[in-house]
Chain A
Amino acid sequence: MRAFIRQLRPALFATVVSTVLLGVVYPLVATGIGQLFFHDKANGSLITRDGTVVGSELIGQTFVAPQYFHSRPSAAGAGYDGSASSGSNLGPVNPDLLAAVQERVAAYREENGLSADVLVPVDAVTASASGLDPHISVANARLQAARVATERGLDVRVVLGLIDDHTDGRSLGILGEPGVNVVTLNLALDDMS
């Protein structure tokens, strides 16, 4: 116990020193480097239109209107709530999950005019981990292309071409999985008209 009490003084000073060095200097130096050399990225890869922030390239949004590609289901707040990231955390056999998936499959088929034997891509009917996933699979995007093209009076080949343009491939060609960025894709569609 005497040894313990004798160590309290260095413990207190070590805490103060590490708080200054690692809690103040380190994050502020990092913030300085980020703001200086990677200004847009350090601030959230924000997208602006006419001076207004309309979102981030990295954070998904909810789309319900038929002329837009639709994002994955989201468990973040009321859906894609940037201040409340979350997955559903439902277990694999939870009845709520199975009911939700069943409902989403039916809605997806109806929305996109698909027959009852078309299998729906899994990412279209499951909630992501963050609730903010900006991507959908290429398969999911292609199944939505006809609807978007019709609603916008575009040739479906133009829309399919845009999907390719907004598909983020694997990093360095091998890391991660390809995905279509719904936010930038829908913005590109709006910019066309």
Chain B
Amino acid sequence: MSWQNFLQLAALIAALAITVPPLGRYMANVFGARADGSAPGDRFFRPIERSIYRVCGIDEKREQRWNVYAAAMMAFSLISVLVLYALLRLQGSLPFNPTDRAGVSPMGSFNTAASFVTNTNWQWYSGEVSISHLTQMLGLSVQNFVSAAVGIAIAVALIRGISRTGSRNLGNFWVDLTRGLVRILLPLALVGTVVLISQGVVQNLNGHTAATTIDTTVTDADGNALTTQLIPGGPVASQEAIKELGTNGGGYYNANSSHPFESTNGFTNFMENYMLLLIPLALVFTFGYLVKDKRQTKLLLAVMAGILLVFAVFTSLTEQSGNSALGSLGVDQSISTTQSGGNMEGKEVRFGASACGVFAASTTGTSTGAVNCMHDSFTSLGGMAPMLHMMFGEISPGGVGVGLSGILVLALLAVFIAGLMVGRTPEYLGKKIQASEMKLVTLYILAMPFALLTFAAAAVVIRSAATYQAGPHGLSEVLYNYASTANNNGSALAYQGTGTQWYTVTQGFSMMIGRFFTIIPALAIGGSLAAKPKVPATSGTMPTHNALFGVLLVGVIVIVAGLTFFPALALGPILEHLSL
């Protein structure tokens, strides 16, 4: 990494450091931090919210127990899946389809509906080839918003469970959903959209524009003249903004954030990287305000940011140092004043190799999955880093809402293990952690590895599923792609053909297991904790805001992922690296 690379990383950290705390505070107020329940912008937002409640028949004063909250979330997800499935199937006969896209196959539609509703945004298809403008707007953009708002709602409900005492209720799902959409995601997305358009990210309703290219002597492989270039259109910027802010990651076009129309220059790349980290980090501050203990924010933030930074710097360094297999072929991969160098296969000149490392770490530490370069062409170790980062359970800082829930669950596991060591009943923020919570924590933690390893093992055994590259890289592809779907990430090692029936179906299920078998236990934990009284801290209480607990928490994260995934990683990326 050159000093410019470090400067860019420093600029990203600075931009986040300035904006994340106030946003976290704002969100805390949106979700009831003030005693009177008021929030900034009430005069503007209240009438909008009230009319939404009226139309939907929601009684905003009526709070829900955890199981009703979960039922509301599941009902909303079910309707979302059905609507999106119908849109995908029928898009061929619907309007706003200037490029004449046909309806998507049943299996493919199931996969994509599951993908966007679970905030995964895994794409087995290529956006510009398969999806109409109408589906992009009514289907995918809408799910980008609401799946993120669901994540925020879940996190807020879990926080209420921790901070309330002797209550049965976690809030009202519909109110939390509406407030997250109207007061947080929509305003931020509108600002982001306008800035992106000002940089050249396209925003129109056109189909392809046919350009007569400059060099008239170009031919295809058969010698036919190739002098027309189809330049794509679409409402891209509006989707790009929420794609990053909602940690969704599904590209309008196949090449995602490496496409010049999704990210035009170094600034848009920086901004998209910033946007995908913004809300997950801010929610950690929201947590501190809502439980009235800002020391917890500092501890969780240090753990999340520490892990993220390690992966960002490591991946930047490995990608910037180049592909050693090209070393003997007469290729100059060095960094100089006239080239940025590095492993440039699958990377764009305007971003450079180093910025790809930072983006890759950010996109896999959150559950975004947007890519500004092709992870499949990363070096062996550079490619293992984003995969391992996902296998940590996406808690650094994690997807919008679900990342915070994830690290809180791991924190419960950490206090439990610490409690066992000293023989005391473990407590977290004054709440006793007992068998019923620990069963739910176990369920939460096992869901992702189960969906990842079971399906990946089956895919390797079933020979018709072999659509990957030869050698250990093929295993890396299978592992990465199930890690991505099971963690609701959505990035891919994209050489592998995943449009087959086996993959569309199993990856559809792995996304749903990864989403709902974590969200529902998280809500159940919230419900169980809300009912408990707060026990006063004594000299025997283990504090959860000091360095010792930080080390313990990192230890739990690393050991859980390491024990689960090391054997598989050894046969994939590690073997590939050693064979160089």
* A120, CB-defined interface residue at 8 Å: yes
* B90, CB-defined interface residue at 8 Å: no
CB-based contact B340/A137 at 8 Å: yes
Residue of A nearest to B347 (CB): A129
A137 vs B338: C-alpha distance when bound (angstroms) = 7
* B431, CB-defined interface residue at 8 Å: no
CB-based contact B138/A19 at 8 Å: yes
CB-based contact A7/B211 at 8 Å: no
For B329, give its contact among A6, A98, A183 (CB under 8 Å).
Answer: A98
Chain A residues near B145 (CB, 8 Å)?
18, 22
For the complex, count residues of A whose C-beta is within 8 A of B.
113
Which listed segment binds A: B223-231, B292-300, B447-455, B456-464?
B223-231
Interface residues of B in 139-169 (CB under 8 A from A): 139, 141-142, 145-146
* A30, CB-defined interface residue at 8 Å: yes
A130 vs B349: C-alpha distance when bound (angstroms) = 11
From known contacts A3-B67, A34-B197, infer whether A140 and B141 are also in contact, taking CB-CB under 8 Å.
no
A103 vs B218: C-alpha distance when bound (angstroms) = 19
* A113, CB-defined interface residue at 8 Å: no
A181 vs B351: C-alpha distance when bound (angstroms) = 14
From known contacts A22-B146, A82-B232, A137-B339, infer whether A130 and B239 are also in contact, taking CB-CB under 8 Å.
no
Shortest CB-to-CB span from B91 to chain A, Å, is 13
Q: Which of A38, A63, A85 has the largest number of chain B CB atoms within 10 A?
A: A85
From known contacts A63-B218, A81-B230, A122-B322, infer whether A24 and B212 are also in contact, taking CB-CB under 8 Å.
no
A88 vs B494: C-alpha distance when bound (angstroms) = 9
CB-based contact A59/B344 at 8 Å: no
Shortest CB-to-CB span from B523 to chain A, Å, is 13
CB-based contact B55/A54 at 8 Å: no
Interface residues of B in 193-207 (CB under 8 A from A): 193-194, 197-206
Shortest CB-to-CB span from B137 to chain A, Å, is 5
* B330, CB-defined interface residue at 8 Å: yes
* A149, CB-defined interface residue at 8 Å: no
CB-based contact A177/B226 at 8 Å: no
Residue of A nearest to B72 (CB): A7
CB-based contact A61/B194 at 8 Å: no
CB-based contact B57/A9 at 8 Å: yes
From known contacts A24-B138, A90-B376, A175-B270, infer whether A4 and B211 are also in contact, taking CB-CB under 8 Å.
no
For B265, give its contact among A27, A72, A85, A171 (CB under 8 Å).
Answer: A171
CB-based contact B214/A68 at 8 Å: yes
Shortest CB-to-CB span from A86 to chain B, Å, is 6
Q: Mark A110-128, 1 if CB is under 8 A from B, else 0.
A: 0000001011111101111
Chain A residues near B345 (CB, 8 Å)?
87-88, 90, 92, 97, 126-127
From known contacts A15-B79, A83-B128, infer whether A78 and B221 are also in contact, taking CB-CB under 8 Å.
yes
Chain B residues near A179 (CB, 8 Å)?
349-350
Interface residues of B in 16-67 (CB under 8 A from A): 52, 55-58, 67
CB-based contact B348/A129 at 8 Å: yes
Interface residues of B in 269-286 (CB under 8 A from A): 269-270
Residue of A nearest to B239 (CB): A27
From known contacts A10-B72, A54-B212, infer whether A19 and B259 are also in contact, taking CB-CB under 8 Å.
no
* B315, CB-defined interface residue at 8 Å: no
Chain A residues near B383 (CB, 8 Å)?
92
CB-based contact A84/B76 at 8 Å: no
* A192, CB-defined interface residue at 8 Å: no
For A27, give its contact among B137, B194, B322, B494 (CB under 8 Å).
Answer: B137
* B564, CB-defined interface residue at 8 Å: no
Which listed segment binds A: B250-258, B411-419, B528-536, B544-552?
B250-258
For A56, give its contact among B231, B258, B471 (CB under 8 Å).
Answer: B231
Residue of B nearest to A187 (CB): B214
CB-based contact A14/B76 at 8 Å: yes
* B249, CB-defined interface residue at 8 Å: no
Shortest CB-to-CB span from A184 to chain B, Å, is 10
A180 vs B350: C-alpha distance when bound (angstroms) = 9
CB-based contact A168/B350 at 8 Å: yes
* B571, CB-defined interface residue at 8 Å: no
Question: Contact residues of B with A, CB < 8 Å?
Answer: 4, 7-8, 11, 52, 55-58, 67-68, 71-72, 74-76, 78-80, 83, 126, 128-129, 137-139, 141-142, 145-146, 174, 177-178, 181, 186, 189-190, 193-194, 197-206, 208-215, 217-221, 226, 229-233, 235, 237-239, 253-255, 258-261, 264-267, 269-270, 322-323, 325-326, 329-333, 336-352, 355, 371-374, 376-380, 383, 469-471, 473, 476, 493-495, 576, 579-580
What are 17 sample pairs from A and B whose C-beta atoms fall under 8 A apart?
Answer: A3-B68, A7-B74, A10-B174, A17-B56, A18-B181, A26-B238, A33-B193, A38-B197, A43-B233, A46-B231, A83-B128, A91-B473, A93-B471, A93-B579, A122-B339, A134-B260, A138-B337
The 3 nearest A-B residue pairs measured at CB: A176-B266, A129-B258, A171-B267
